[in-house]
Amino acid sequence: MFKIYGDYGYTTENLLEEFDTYEEAERWVEGYIRWGDFGGYDVIEIAFFDEHGEYIMERRYDKEDFYEGDDDFALMEDF
């Protein structure tokens, strides 16, 4: 089960959605942040918990990676 969290590990942490496949989760997040609006969260992550209960992040989207330059929109590289 893939979980989508806003601000995981912070006081504003919130489980936004759950999906059976990574592809469904990724599609949902990309639609959610499509216009650069992160719904008030600084970070949105797609993750799952392994058999030991460890949080495993598959993909992270950072609000700070979306910024306006002088003349154009730029997306910074993934980490």
Asked if 43 contacts 26 with a C-beta cutoff of 8 angstroms, the reply is no
What stretches in the chain show pLDDT beneath 70? 66-79
36 — alpha (psi -120 to 50), left (phi > 0) or beta? left
Instruction: Tell me how many domains the chain contains.
Output: 1
pLDDT, residue 68, reads 46
Domain extent at residue 14? 2-75
pLDDT, position 65: 72
